[in-house]
Chains A and B, each alone.
Chain A
Amino acid sequence: MTERIEITETSVPALPRGVKLRFDKQRDQWVLLAPERLFVLDSIALEIVKRCKGEANIDEIADDLATSFSAPKDVVMKDVIALLQDLTDKRILTA
């Protein structure tokens, strides 16, 4: 039986089979393609989702983003967890 996944600093997020990150050239945007769904990613969401490869954990992803975009890590961390918890609850992310 499936249980709800809670995203924490130590979670290692990944896109499961059946969820694909793709550039949509006709509409000039990045999208996540999922069962019967299409999520248009803004530039921040894209940077987060790109890092969900089943390798880095949330803490490392937040570190990386904070450095790359010169932003305070605690703020970044909050955004990352909020987005990824939402995607997890929609069953298009695993951790």
Chain B
Amino acid sequence: MTSQPSGSEPSGTPPGFPLAILAELTHRCPLQCPYCSNPVALEAASAELDTDTWLRAIEEVAELGALQIHFSGGEPTSRKDLETLIRKANEVGLYSNLITAGVLVGEDRLSSLADAGLDHVQLSFQDSEAAGCDRIGGFKGGFEKKLEFAKSVNALDLPLTANMVVHRQNLANLETMLELAVELTARRVEIAHVQYYGWAYVNRAALMPTRAQLERATEIVEEARERLKGILVIDYVVPDYYAKRPKSCMGGWGQQFLNISPAGKVLPCHAAESITSLSFDRFPDKSLREIWETSDAFLAYRGTDWMPEPCRSCDRREIDWGGCRCQAFAITGAADNVDPACALSPEHELLQALAQEDSHAGSDDFLYRTRRTGLELQDA
């Protein structure tokens, strides 16, 4: 996403407007991916916002200035009102993106989503072949359904992005993943190394790639970008455990992005709930504008005033905005510490040692994402 000039206002000043909203309509999902970006504590279907509340949220976020809406989950197509929500997004001028596993929807439903005004489909693949895809996603027959779904997307002339989350157990297939994206005539593919929050954090030892795997993956992507120029756009997300500089997480905390959870918690990023020292306002208890402009959670790390040294005087402070708060919290215990992905963090070596150790952990067993496992993990 293009970054929006947001200036260097002190953290008390609300910056312009959010650019995009991630609408997590539900945590229900037929897949059980062990790196799911949802929190470990999954919200129950009975807690989900109703249709009217989502319609209001869509209107409010458009008024706030957002241009894009990502319908996600869980599996967003498990909501029967998705057409109604897409129609509203279209009406208020939001570009709509469906982030789906593609296993619940046949051509009829997809056609009705397209008629409602859906602009783009992002389809996940857990691997480039059935055995791996179905094992990693924990859903038998999923791969075949995804291929069928991709055909339907193409038949409707909707733009398709293939999303491939990569890790130690599927990186050997990276070249065939890229081939698959080309065969499916996707316009874009996202090769996204797992980011270690929530479920992925729990499954780190089964997912972490070796440094050699990472280096090979980067070579493959660079070569493919040249070869497939004009055919397939490749977005590549690297694992920051092996990085030297942190990523510009969310384009800056509370600066471009907001996320609404199925039960209405409004978050600066989808992993923010992992920061247990923060509390989050709910929609519709407060308006989205009030939450965006004044809530403690959004103000906490917005801008540069919250930063510790060496971030505060770093010439990259408005490039990476101090990296990722969730990672700082997960690894160092405090969300306002330097992101350990940065080589200037005192915990950087610790992070690299963790990556090294996990990448050679030896066990490939997953703790699959289910509501029950989530509850057990919380109790533990």
Contact = CB atoms under 8 A, between A and B. Distances in A.
A65 B102 CA distance: 44
Given A2-B182, A3-B231, A90-B233, A35 B157 contact: no
B100 to A, nearest CB: 14
Nearest to B70: A36
Contacts of A38: 1-2, 19, 67-68
Interface string A30-44: 010111111110000
A86 to B, nearest CB: 10
Given A22-B93, A35-B161, A2 B232 contact: yes
B17 A39 contact: no
Interface in A4-42: 4-5, 16-20, 22, 24, 26-27, 31, 33-40
B65 interface: yes
Nearest to A33: B95
Would you call the interface of chain A mostly helix, strand, loop, or mixed? loop
A31 B229 contact: no
B159 interface: yes
B222 to A, nearest CB: 16
Interface in B108-146: 119-120, 122
B187 A35 contact: yes
A27 B17 contact: yes
Interface string B150-187: 00000001110100000000000000000000110101
A91 interface: yes
B10 interface: no
Contacts of B185: 1-2
A38 B65 CA distance: 14
Nearest to A3: B231
A91 B135 CA distance: 32
A38 B119 CA distance: 13
Nearest to B62: A26
Interface string B1-39: 110100000000000110100000000000000000000
A87 to B, nearest CB: 11
A26 B66 CA distance: 9
B16 to A, nearest CB: 7
Contacts of A57: none
A17 B65 contact: no
Contact of A39 (B2, B229, B231): B2
Contacts of A19: 159
B362 interface: no
Most chain B beta-carbon neighbours within 10 Å: one of A31, A90, A91: A91
Interface in B33-54: none
A20 B118 CA distance: 12
A39 B161 CA distance: 18
Nearest to A22: B93
A26 B2 contact: no
A22 B67 contact: yes
Given A2-B232, A26-B16, A17 B159 contact: yes
Contact of A1 (B2, B183, B230): B183
Contacts of A34: 120, 159
A36 B97 contact: yes
Nearest to B183: A1
B122 A35 contact: yes
A37 B235 CA distance: 11
A89 interface: yes
B188 interface: yes
A35 B188 contact: yes
A88 B120 CA distance: 17
Contacts of A91: 159, 187-188, 230, 232-233
A36 B230 contact: no
Contacts of A17: 157-159
What 8 A-B pairs come out closest when comparing CB atoms? A4-B230, A18-B159, A26-B65, A91-B187, A33-B95, A35-B120, A89-B230, A2-B231
9 contacts: A3-B230, A3-B231, A4-B230, A18-B158, A20-B95, A35-B122, A36-B188, A36-B235, A88-B230
Interface of A: 1-5, 16-20, 22, 24, 26-27, 31, 33-40, 88-91
